[in-house]
Amino acid sequence: MGNIALLDKQTIDQIAAGEVIERPASVVKELIENAIDARATEISVEIRDGGINYIRITDNGKGIMKEDVPLAFTRHATSKIRTIEDLFSVHSLGFRGEALSSIASVAKVELLTKTKEAMSGTRYVIHGGEEVVCTDAGIPNGTTIVVSSLFYNTPARRKYLGSANAEAGRIMELMQAVILSHPEIGFKFVSQGKVRLLTYGNAKEQGRMESIYRVLGRDIAKYLVPVKAENAFASVSGYIGRPEIGRGNRSYEYYFINGRYIKSKVIENAVEDGYRGFFMQHRYPVYVLDLKVPSEDLDVNVHPAKMELRLKNEAEVYELLADCVRKTLQNKEWIPQVQLQPQTAAAESKKISEPAEEAEKPRAEKAAFSYLPKALSPRPQTLKDAAAPEPFEEKKIAEISREQTAELRTDAGQIRLPEKVLLRENALPDIRIIGQVFDTYWILQLEDKMYLLDQHAAHEKLLYETLLEKLRSGQHFTQRISPPVIVSLQPMEERRLEKYLPDFEKLGFEISSFGGREIALSAVPLDLPDLGSAEAFRELLDSLDEVRGMRLEKLLARCATISCKAAVKGNMRLSGAEVQELIRGLMKLEDPYHCPHGRPTMISMTKQEIEKRFGRT
C-alpha cells in the first residue's frame, strides 16, 4: 500500500481555515471586508471574551439571496471574480471565496440576511462546516453574522490564542485601521457591552478627520498636516504628523492601498525616509495615508489573509511617498513650543498614548444606527430575538458631529504658521539677539515669541547641509588611496555595485576591477576619508537596496558624524556677529529646525506663556 493518501474534506477545510483564520481578529477582518464589499454604509461589531466565544457583525449592505446562502459557505465560492484574469484587476477587498467557509469550519455560525428586493430574509445556521438550519426569517435589509465558540472543534489551535484582553486588543487595533481606511462608513465597536469606538461616516474630508479624531484622539489630530501628491503610477492623500509627535514604535503608522489595510516595507521605508533628519534616532512618524494604485499594478494574491501585496512599480511609489513627505515638512517652522502648564509630562504622555479612551464620549454611547437590533446587551439567545430595529437618532448624531467639527477647526487653527517666521529673510531686521546663557544657548526675540538657539546643533546642521550639497552636486575633491584597497564582493554586493557604479563615481569614488569578484578602491571623497576601508565600503553597499537606490544611509551618517565633530561645541563663546552669520546660514536651508540626528536646533516660548507663569494673565 502506498504512503500517499487523499485528505478528507473536514481536514482539508480546517487546513484552509488555518491559512485565513488565525484568531478572532481574522474573523472580524474577513466579515468586515465582506460587509464593505456589500456596499454597507453602517457596520456594527460586537465581541465578548475577546471574540473567542462571541462575535456579532451587522451591516446594512445589499444582503445575500436565499438561494446563494448555502453556496456562500462553500470553499472557493465568490461573487467577486469569475476567471483567473480577474485576479489581476481585483477591486473588492475579499475575492477568494474562503472567508465564510473557513470560519464555518472552525466555529458555530448563525447568519441572518435579506436583500432589498426580497419579501423576507433567511436564517442559516452552520456548525463546524455542517448545515443545521436554513429557514425564512422576518428581518431588516442587510446581513448579521454571529460567530461563537471559535476553534471549538480544533482545541489544539484554541489553546494557542491569547487571553481575552489580548485578543480584544488585536480586534481594537484592527477596528482602528478599518475606520481610518473607510471614513465614509459609520462604524460601531462594542466590547463586553461597552461602546469602544463610534463614527458616523461623513462622506467628505470632514469624515476622515472625524475618524482620525475618534481613533487617535485630539492630542494627535491637532498636530496633523494634510498631504496630497500624485505621479503617473499612484496618488497619495491623507495626513502626516508634525515631527514633535514622533513615537517610539510604528503603531501609529496607518496606510492603505485602494482602501485595503496592508503591511508594506516599501511604504514604511518611503515615509520614514521622507522624515529623515526631522526625528531623533529610534523615533517613528504618525501618519494616515491613502494610496490609489491601478488594480492591474497590484498583486493582492500574495498572502492568504491579504495582509501583503506586491507593487509593480515599487520604486516610483517609493519616490512619490518620500518626496511628498519631505516637501511637506520642508520650509515649515517646526520649532517645538514650550508650554508651561501644571500637568506633568508623564500625565500628558499617558493621555496621548491612550487614544481609544479619548475617542470614547459618554454622549456617543447613547447613539444607535438605524438598522441595529434594539438590544445589543445582554446578547440575544438567537438572532430572531434581535430582529426589530429602532429609529435612528439623527438629530443627536448631527449635533455631535457639529460639535466635533467646531472643535477640530479650533485645533486646526492652533497649528497655523505665523506670518513672520523666524528663519526667513523678511524677519531678519526684526530679530533681536538678547544674549547667551550657559555659553551654549542664544536667546532671540521676534514679535511675541522668545527663542532659545542651540549653537552646536545649529552649526552642525549648517555644516551637514553644506557637505551634503557638495556630494549631491558633484562639487567634491577626491582623496587618493595608496596602495589601493582590494575588496572581495559577494554576488549580491557585485550586482549592487554594478547598478550604482555611476553614482559612486559622481560622489568621488574611483573603483576598478581587480579580477574575479575583487575590486580595487583607489580613491574616496575627500570629505569622507573613513570610507577608504574594505569593511566601510561593504557597509555602504549593504545600505543600498533595489528601492531606496542612492539614498545612502551610511553615507548620510558619515556626513552627520563629520559635521558634528567640526561644529562649534557647547561652552564655546561666540560673538553676536558670529551668531548673526549662523542665523543667515540657517535661513538658506530647507529644514533648519533639526540637527542631522533629529534634535531640535531651537525651541520657543510665547509671551503669553511667560505671562501666565507670572500671573499677569
Q: Give Cβ neighbours of residue 474 (< 8 Å, ≥ 6 apart).
A: 506, 507
Looking at residue 592, the DSSP 8-state letter turns out to be T
pLDDT of residue 478: 78
Q: Is residue 368 part of a domain?
A: no
Q: Is residue 503 part of a domain?
A: yes
pLDDT of residue 88: 46
Distance CA 298, CA 301 (A): 9
Among 135, 169, 198, the domain boundary falls at 198
Its pTM stands at 0.62
What's at 16, amino acid-wise?
Answer: A
Residue 462 contacts residue 495 (beta carbons within 8 Å): no
* H-run or E-run covering 227: strand 224-230
Q: Do 463 and 491 lie in a common domain?
A: yes
Residue 270: CATH number of its domain = 3.30.230.10
Q: Do 277 and 426 lie in a common domain?
A: no
Residue 13: CATH number of its domain = 3.30.565.10
Q: Do 451 and 560 lie in a common domain?
A: yes
Distance CA 222, CA 235 (A): 24
pLDDT of residue 185: 92
Which residue intervals of 244-313 are DSSP H helices? 265-274
Cα–Cα nearest to 317, from 369, 271, 376, 368 = 271
Residue 240 contacts residue 292 (beta carbons within 8 Å): no
Residue 435: CATH number of its domain = 3.30.1540.20
Return the SS3 of 126. Answer: strand
Q: Is residue 232 part of a domain?
A: yes
- Grid cell digits, residue 402: 457639529
* H-run or E-run covering 523: strand 518-525
Q: Do 568 and 455 lie in a common domain?
A: yes
Among 284, 314, 329, the domain boundary falls at 329
Number of domains in the chain: 3
Chunked into runs of 10 residues, the chain (617 residues) has average pLDDT values of 57 54 91 92 95 96 91 67 46 57 91 94 93 93 95 87 91 93 92 91 68 86 90 91 84 89 86 82 86 78 55 85 88 65 45 38 39 35 39 36 45 41 68 84 86 85 77 72 86 79 80 86 75 74 57 58 69 78 80 78 85 81
Q: Is residue 146 part of a domain?
A: yes
Q: Do 151 and 64 lie in a common domain?
A: yes
Q: Do 469 and 519 lie in a common domain?
A: yes
Which residue intervals of 223-343 are DSSP H helices? 265-274, 314-329
* Per-residue three-class SS string for 147-210: EECCCCCCHHHHCCCCCHHHHHHHHHHHHHHHHHHCCCCEEEEEECCEEEEECCCCCCHHHHHH
Q: Do 442 and 561 lie in a common domain?
A: yes
pLDDT of residue 334: 64
Looking at residue 508, the DSSP 8-state letter turns out to be T
Q: Do 194 and 222 lie in a common domain?
A: no
Q: Is residue 66 part of a domain?
A: yes
Distance CA 161, CA 411 (A): 41
Q: Is residue 353 part of a domain?
A: no
Q: Is residue 425 part of a domain?
A: yes
Cα atoms in the 13 Å half-sphere on the side-chain side of 237:
7
Q: Do 90 and 226 lie in a common domain?
A: no
Q: Give Cβ neighbours of residue 610 (< 8 Å, ≥ 6 apart).
A: 340, 450
Looking at residue 595, the DSSP 8-state letter turns out to be -
pLDDT of residue 39: 92
Among 310, 329, 348, the domain boundary falls at 329
Q: Is residue 363 part of a domain?
A: no
Q: Do 526 and 601 lie in a common domain?
A: yes
Q: Do 35 and 153 lie in a common domain?
A: yes
Q: What is the residue range of 576's domain? A: 420-617
Q: Do 30 and 83 lie in a common domain?
A: yes
